[in-house]
Structure 1
Amino acid sequence: MSFDLASRLAELGLRLPDVSPPRGVYVPAVCSGRLVYVAGQVPMVEGELVATGKVGASVTPEEAYELSQRCALASLAAAVSVTAQGAVTGVVKVVGYVVSADGFVGQPSVVDGASDLFLAVFGEAGRHARSAVGVAELPLGAPVEIEVVFEASG
């Protein structure tokens, strides 16, 4: 039985957002062989950033977890934009960047938002290698950015 991404998203009550247009000289995603490399995604709705600030200060870890999930869905939308929707079959690698207030060390818990979403969508095929990195600033003042490598079927 093959994986049906659209059905799985519907079961979870999730909808892929529109792919945000790049704000620089790059493309949102590139397919190379069976891998789909997605540029870092920040939490956007209809092309606008939904939150700014530092996690552990003006953004709570719980809010950042949800923003991480939003970034993960945006990453999946970008991957689907360069493949057939059913072709995206799993997650290989996630890198999460978290703008961190002084002393905030909960970056892995924030990036768990993306990881948990991918596990819910793909099951075991959503289990991935991962890095969670604290940073001083991100583009547009975003508190979280998620970069993903997906696997696609032939």
Structure 2
Amino acid sequence: MSTPEERLAGLGLTLPEVVPPLAAYVPAVRTGDHVYTSGQLPLVDGKLAVTGKVGADLDADLAKEQARICALNALAAVASVAGGLSNIVRIVKVVGFVASAPGFTGQPQVINGASELLGEVFGDAGRHARSAVGVAVLPLDAPVEVELIAEVR
């Protein structure tokens, strides 16, 4: 049986540094056996690879890849207050926001990028409740933002 860290490495991924807050908040808060993350943007090395509205400036497949990056950043935030990925018991809830062009209705498919990564890393413990919401605009003109709640030991 492999650990979440080993499964992440098997995907060719490493846990990034926790993304510093863009305003007056913290990346994650632990209360009891749960960690709540702030919304995580698809920042890599402090930068967005793409910006704009899904369905106008970028397609759903590229946005799905960005949601995967958001989930990786969220896992880094959880691990930072839980003592590592192996202390995550299960992913409880994911909320995904998609900056959507008028008429774009593929928000669930975009946020699957985050959900699928969590399943690959945690197996059944990565299955979660979820909301996928279309919004007019996100911070820094990001196409997606993801937050999650995790149960930890």
The TM-score, its normalising length taken from structure 1, stands at 0.95
Cα deviation 1:93-138 (Å, max 9, x = unaligned): 0000000011100000000000011111111110100000000000
Question: Which residue of structure 2 lines up, in the alignment, with residue 112 of structure 1?
Answer: 112
Match of 1:152 in 2: 152
Distance 1:70 1:92 in 2: 19
The count of corresponding residues between Structure 1 and Structure 2 is 152
Partner SS state of residue 40, structure 1: coil
Q: Distance in 2 between matches of 1:49 and 1:112?
A: 19
Partner of 1:41: 40
Cα RMSD (Å) of the superposition?
1.1
Letter in 1 for 2:6: S
Residue identity opposite 1:135 in structure 2 = V
Match in the other structure for 2:28: 29
- Whole-Å separation in 2 of the counterparts to 1:123 and 1:42: 24
Deviation of 1:89 after TM superposition, in Å, equals: 2.6
Query: Which residue is equivalent to 1:63?
Result: 62
Q: TM-score with structure 2 length normalisation?
A: 0.95
- Residues of 2 paired with 1:5 and 1:113: CA distance? 18
Distance between the aligned counterparts of 1:118 and 1:100, measured in 2? Answer: 23
Unaligned runs of 5+ in 1: none
Q: Which runs of 5+ in 2 are unaligned?
A: none
Q: Name the aligned partner's letter for residue 146 of structure 1.
A: V
Show CA shifts across 1:21-48 (max 9, x none): 1011100001111111010001101112
